[in-house]
Amino acid sequence: MQATTKVTQRTATSASGSAVGILALSGDISSASKDAILGAYQALDGTTPAKVLLDFTSVDYINSSGIAIVIQMLLEASKSGSRTIAIFGLSPHFQKVFTMVGINKYAALHGNEAAALASL
């Protein structure tokens, strides 16, 4: 049985002093996660800075449909040109998978939050 996807929003400050929105994902990421993830991302419009971190630290499982949702979000950000997205907290396995499918072309991958904030 899949764990429900939860998305919580918080803010932090980058090394350069700018505000960063963080979407912390937890549970399993699959096709059933689309509304939760894209809804949380779209809710950022007008309320959060142009820099966003996706926190995968508490994600237990991601399938191909879940990866497609992440790609959809990144393509939306890329097309609008209004937001920079970075990702942290992936397990070594999913860091490799995200690199293999080319997600790292649209979002920098970092090991932890501190490294991600330092890069922005």
Tally of domains in the chain: 1
Per the structure, the complete domain to which residue 42 belongs is given by 6-119
pLDDT band at 118 (very low <50, low <70, confident <90, very high): very high
Residue 51 lies in a domain: yes
As a whole number of angstroms, the distance between CA 9 and CA 7 comes to: 7
Quick: pLDDT tens for 39-54: 999 888 666 668 999 9
Residue 1 lies in a domain: no
Q: What is the CATH number of the domain that holds 67?
A: 3.30.750.24
Residue 70 lies in a domain: yes
Q: What angle do CA 32, 34, 38 make, to 5 degrees?
A: 160
Neighbouring residues of 50: CB distance < 8 A, sequence distance ≥ 6: 82, 83, 84
Helix ranges (H only) for the chain are 34-43, 64-80, 92-100, 113-119
